[in-house]
Structure formats: C-alpha cells, structure tokens
C-alpha cells in the first residue's frame, strides 16, 4: 500500500521488488467483545518481502497475525493470499493454513513428541508425505539450522532459543508461501535471542515472504523491507525502515520510538 507514500518499493535491493502480491488485507476489523482491536487494516505484502509490524503492546500486532492465519475469525474485511480470498465463506481453512506458517511467542512445541516428530507430524498427516521422505526433509532442515543432534530430544530438554528454532523449522517443513512470526524472541533470555534472529536473517536472504511482529527495533530496521507502525488498531504509518526510524511523520510514531530509545532498545 502506498498510504505512507512510496513505502516498500526500491528498498532492500533486489529482494525488495514487489513483482507479485503474496498477501493482501482490505479493511480488516476484529473485536473481542466491546474491545475493537483491529479497526480497519489495509496491508499488502509482496512476494519475498519482509514486513515488520511494530507498535506498543496491545496495538493489535499479534491479533493481526492470528487473523492472517485464520486462528481468529475476522468481523469484516477481506484477506487474500495469492489471489484467493481466504476469508470467503466456505473456504477450507485447513488448506489455507498449509500455505501460511506461523511461529508463536511461546514456541508451542508438542511436549510429548521428539524434536524430529514435531517437525514431521504435519508433512506426514497433512501433506501425506511418505514418512521416510518427511523425515529426510526434516533432518535436512534441522541440519541446516544446527539442530540435527537434538532430533531425538523432547522439547523440555532444550533451551528456549533451541525450542524456538525448532518451532520455526516445524513451520518451514510445510513449505509455506508466507511465514508469520509473532514476537518470536519476546519469551527468550537476552543471550538466546541472537540465534533465533540469525535463523530469520537466513530465511530473509533466501527470499521467504515474512510478516514479523517484533519489539526488536534494531532487528526490524536491519531486516525489514517495510515497517508498519500499528497504533490503536490501525496502521498509522508505514514505509522503508530508514525513514520510519529516522524521520517518522506521525507524532504517535515519534513518541513510540522516543520511548523505545529511552528504554535503550534502539
């Protein structure tokens, strides 16, 4: 969208090209009881684009991501993935979710399964892959992100950083078109954050389309093609990270960033 003027295009070099739209939100609204959390969200995410959602706690970032994966039904508006409206009545939500991966703040690994089984479950049961093929692919992913030696461990034997990396691998094993990351480092001890961010950097390099809700402003500035500032349930301002972080236009954005700087987070 060009709401904030020229956002998106041309940033981040070749990766920033917006040749096709992966995900489009039009006037998305969502209330929980009397509380209207999303008050008309318009957002377009190009293929291979990395969009970071920033904003204070309660600004609607997590809800927005959960709506994109249909984990929360929206009240009005439309969500379109690669040209298909996934919020239309009668859409098979299970089929939609195969194309969209989401990683949660609290990892949500399955505690009764080994690391390997966590990763192979959905490819086997949902994509009906041959178990040996699913296992080979899972092992290749674990290998790539340095977790091959943990294949037979149970999640509670891993550090938070390792658990979150497994959760990301679990989502990747479904080969999603879009990956949604919901504050994936917020539950981690500071020394474990870097290993998770490295994984996300690697994915961005390979052209994974991602929407990332984050409090890590330095990381957002580094990795995002576009940054969206959420405030009061709307995208108040969006644009390339250099502009949003160095020359925000909206007073609310300026105040949010000032508080972040004061807290030493930027």
- CA dist., res. 61 & res. 236, Å (int): 12
Please, which residue, 11 or 164, has the CB nearer to other proteins?
Answer: 164
Q: Is residue 174 at the binding interface for other proteins, with CB under 8 A as the rule?
A: yes
Q: Residue 112: is it exposed, middle or buried by C-beta count within 10 angstroms (0-12/13-18/19+)?
A: exposed
Q: Is residue 63 at the binding interface for other proteins, with CB under 8 A as the rule?
A: no
Q: Is residue 131 at the binding interface for other proteins, with CB under 8 A as the rule?
A: no
Question: What kind and span of H or E run contains 99?
Answer: helix 93-99
CB-based contact 152:84 (threshold 8 Å): no
Place of tokens 């009545």: 89
The minimum distance between CB 250 and other proteins, in angstroms, equals 32
Three-state DSSP at 204 gives: helix
Residue 94: name the closest of 115, 71, 113 by CA.
Answer: 71
Among positions 24, 97, 150, 221, the unique one binding other proteins when judged by CB under 8 A: 97
Please, which residue, 3 or 91, has the CB nearer to other proteins?
Answer: 91
Among positions 19, 94, 191, 262, the unique one binding other proteins when judged by CB under 8 A: 94
DSSP state, residue 42? E
> Per DSSP, what are the bridge partners of residue 32?
35
Taking CB under 8 A as the binding criterion, the range among 19-27, 102-110, 142-150, 232-240 that sits at the site for other proteins is 102-110
Taking CB under 8 A as the binding criterion, the range among 9-17, 32-40, 117-125, 235-243 that sits at the site for other proteins is 117-125
Among positions 5, 10, 111, 146, the unique one binding other proteins when judged by CB under 8 A: 111
Phi/psi class of residue 115: alpha, beta or left (left: φ > 0; alpha: ψ in -120 to 50)? alpha
Q: Which of residues 144-163 bind other proteins (CB under 8 A)?
A: 156-157
Q: Is residue 101 at the binding interface for other proteins, with CB under 8 A as the rule?
A: yes
Three-state DSSP at 181 gives: strand
The minimum distance between CB 263 and other proteins, in angstroms, equals 28
Three-state DSSP at 2 gives: coil
Among positions 56, 121, 148, 234, the unique one binding other proteins when judged by CB under 8 A: 121
Q: Is residue 184 at the binding interface for other proteins, with CB under 8 A as the rule?
A: no
Chain contacts with other proteins (rule: CB under 8 A) = 69, 71, 93-95, 97-98, 101-102, 104, 106, 108-112, 121-122, 125-127, 156-157, 170-171, 174
């Amino acid at each position: 969208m060009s709401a904030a003027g020229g956002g998106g295009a041309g940033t981040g070099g070749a990766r920033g090209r917006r040749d096709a739209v992966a995900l489009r939100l039009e006037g998305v609204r969502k209330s929980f009881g009397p509380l209207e959390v999303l008050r008309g969200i318009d957002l377009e995410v190009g293929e291979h684009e990395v969009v970071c959602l920033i904003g204070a706690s309660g600004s609607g970032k997590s809800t927005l991501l959960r709506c994109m994966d249909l984990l929360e039904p929206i009240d009005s508006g439309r969500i379109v993935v690669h040209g298909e409206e996934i919020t239309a009545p009668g859409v098979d939500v299970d089929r939609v979710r195969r194309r969209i991966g989401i990683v949660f703040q609290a990892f949500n690994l399955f505690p009764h399964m080994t690391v390997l089984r966590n990763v192979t479950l959905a490819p086997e049961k949902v994509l009906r892959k041959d178990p040996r093929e699913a296992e080979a692919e899972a092992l290749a992913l674990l290998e790539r992100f340095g977790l091959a030696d943990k294949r037979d461990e149970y999640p509670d034997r891993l550090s938070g950083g390792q658990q979150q990396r497994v959760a990301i691998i679990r989502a990747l094993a479904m080969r999603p078109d879009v990956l949604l990351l919901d504050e994936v480092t917020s539950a981690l001890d500071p020394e474990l954050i870097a290993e998770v961010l490295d994984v996300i950097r690697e994915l961005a390099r390979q052209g994974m389309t991602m929407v990332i809700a984050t409090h890590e402003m330095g990381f957002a500035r580094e990795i995002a093609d576009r940054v969206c500032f959420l405030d009061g349930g709307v995208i108040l301002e969006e644009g390339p990270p250099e502009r949003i972080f160095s020359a925000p236009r909206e007073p609310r954005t300026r105040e949010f960033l000032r508080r972040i700087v004061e807290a030493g987070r930027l």
